[in-house]
Structure 1
Amino acid sequence: MAARTAFTTVLASLGPEAPLPVAARAFAAAGVPVFPVAPGGKHPITAHGFHDATSDLRQVEAWWGRFPGGNIGVPTGQASGVSVVDVDVHGVDGFAAFRRAGRAGLVTGWEALVRSPTDGLHVYYPAADTEQASWQAGDAGVDFRGDRGYIIAPPSRRVIDGETKLYRLASVSPTPGGALDVEALRTFLIPPRPPRRFPIPERRSGRTDPQKLANWLGAERTDRNRKLFWASCVLAEEGVPFRDALDAMLTVEQPDFGSREITRTVASGYKRIHGTPTSASDRASRPSPKRDAAPEQRLAPARGL
């Protein structure tokens, strides 16, 4: 049977009034990396923040020997073995969104619930085996703290309006938890927006004329990248060769709308429709549209798109 994470095991063993140096050492001794945070605050003391987190006992004892009132920071994600859903109450009711996600079955598997000093909620889960980046759903009042993020762990405390308030363990699950389906939760909280539609310019012989689209784009002065991407998708759907589309779009190059940006965006549109911007034979057989440019200025096929 799976065991609880080391973090939750230590957390459940600590009392709410445990001295911060003792708690920091307990986490480190269990293999959970920690780093010191400003006493009564949320900002790291170390030069590189959560990147400095360690489970080395000598370093941890040195940090809290120097800053005995330092709060305990824990990097989230694979570094510590835990990820956190942060339910906020500042200007938005994050609990309403969290309850909706609960009814949809998207927030099961938690191991520990921690009340924050501002009356929010930190919901701890075992980290996934693969990297899960941190993100924010500000309108919903829910954040996810995964890889490249950190959390303040109990029994840390904040000083708010002159009053000291604790991060308090509220509940521990009776059974080990499971990794969160982060992408499902993110899609639920931040539904994808429908694609923006633009008026379609005149079509010719059943397919769009790339030069007319380019002329239309050149007359625009707002959302040029978005419109260029849309136009590229239209051309790709209509079967216009990638290089024909690119040659036409490069005619609207301007100082603040350069060839590299245009090339990347057109390639992205073709990749969205066909899975690849152009064939190898097309790249090899067609010269760059800027034949008189110096070699280092000639356009190369966009990479990594």
Structure 2
Amino acid sequence: MSTAGLFAQVADLPPAAAARRLAHAGVPVFPCVPDGKRPLTRRGFHDASTDPAQVEPWWRRWPAANIGVPTGAASGFVVVDVDVHGPVDGRVGFGRATVAGLTGGWEMLVRTPTGGMHAYYPATPGTEQRSWQAGRAGVDFRGDGGYIIVPPSARTIAGTTARYRVEEVGSGPARTLDAGRLRNVLAPRPDPRPRPGTWQPVGREDAERLARWLDRQDTDRNLKLFWASCRLAEGGVPLADALDAVLTAAKSDFGPREIAATVRSAYRTVRPEPARRESPPVRGESSESRWFGRHATTGSLLRGRGL
């Protein structure tokens, strides 16, 4: 049975029954905290099992436990995790990768309780596909060395409980994913540090120097802005000073909203803020409006490519 068909079968079952059904079908499972993602066993996904003698006692002890499944060779599938919360919207990066022809061939799309999605692909036989994160793009890859929470697990966010659920099944044959090329599109390597004589932040006064330096850049300006803003944050330059100076250098092709978002993202990277409460999904929305409603161009591109 296909991965999509199997998860469609267990979508409405209680967690304990779903875990047993998945294990019986050969999918290794392990329990995670009810309503969360943290493993309940000592070794986490390394403890995942298909043995009923192991799976049954776990869910007798924790009947409401969410279901974790290791990704990669252990389960036979890998997952692209598209995150949507706070200032990060992974749908933009996923849409960019779709335009580049890198995301086709998924077997199913799973709607996550926070409004994002998991795109499932067959693991590449005989090839290790290590997990990685592209945090700035809001997209993670779950392969060997990672795990995913699967349907019918649930989470409660801001008082609203929502399940992981299969939203769409691929219409064509599933294909393996080139995770390396996907990562290069979502998280390209930054340019080397500037040589002597180019802009190098050393303190508070460098905010205005940064603005002048950026004004001379013709390519990869967003990436250069992120790198330079990280250096300003490390040098103790207040965020307000950096924003005021950099916004003066805005060109028509590099708008103030994009500049402000990039600078703030860099400062959050260097000076992490306390985690924000995730927003619950809005009831009654279509799957397309929930995933791509804020980015109509991305949505139309995905529809045009069978996504």
Q: TM-score range by the shorter chain?
A: 0.5 to 0.7
> Structure 1 stretches of 5 or more lacking a match?
201-305
The separation in 2 between residues aligned to 1:66 and 1:56, in whole angstroms, is: 16
Give secondary structure in 1 for the equivalent of 2:84: coil
Native 8 Å contact 2:105 2:172 kept in 1: no
Alignment root-mean-square deviation, CA = 1.5
Residue equivalent to 2:104: 108
Residue equivalent to 2:128: 131
Native 8 Å contact 1:12 1:172 kept in 2: no
The separation in 1 between residues aligned to 2:144 and 2:57, in whole angstroms, is: 26
Residue equivalent to 2:155: 158
Counterpart residue type for residue 180 of structure 1: L
Bigger Rg, structure 1 or 2 = 1
2:10 to 8, 14, 24: 14
- The Cα shift of 1:194 comes to 2.4
* 1:6-35: CA deviation from partner (whole Å, max 9, x where unpaired): x333112223x2111111011101111000
Residue equivalent to 1:170: 167
2:30 to 25, 31, 35: 35
Residue equivalent to 1:96: 92
The separation in 2 between residues aligned to 1:51 and 1:171, in whole angstroms, is: 29
Native 8 Å contact 1:36 1:64 kept in 2: yes
- The Cα shift of 1:197 comes to 4.5
Counterpart residue type for residue 26 of structure 1: R
Give secondary structure in 2 for the equivalent of 1:73: strand
The separation in 2 between residues aligned to 1:127 and 1:181, in whole angstroms, is: 10
Q: Assess, with a 3 A threshold, how the Cα gap between structure 1 residues 106 and 56 changes in structure 2: closer, same or farther.
A: same
Which 4+ residue blocks in structure 1 deviate beyond 6 angstroms?
A: none
* 1:60-87: CA deviation from partner (whole Å, max 9, x where unpaired): 1111111110000000111000100000
The separation in 1 between residues aligned to 2:153 and 2:172, in whole angstroms, is: 25
Give secondary structure in 2 for the equivalent of 1:176: coil
Greater relative contact order (CA < 8 Å, ≥ 6 in sequence) = 2
The separation in 2 between residues aligned to 1:45 and 1:134, in whole angstroms, is: 21
Native 8 Å contact 1:35 1:73 kept in 2: yes
The separation in 2 between residues aligned to 1:136 and 1:11, in whole angstroms, is: 25
Residue equivalent to 2:48: 53
Residue equivalent to 2:80: 85
- The Cα shift of 1:199 comes to 4.2
> Structure 2 stretches of 5 or more lacking a match?
198-307
TM-score by length of 1: 0.62
Give secondary structure in 2 for the equivalent of 1:195: coil
The separation in 2 between residues aligned to 1:36 and 1:162, in whole angstroms, is: 23
Answering whether residue 182 of structure 2 is matched by residue 191 of structure 1, we say no
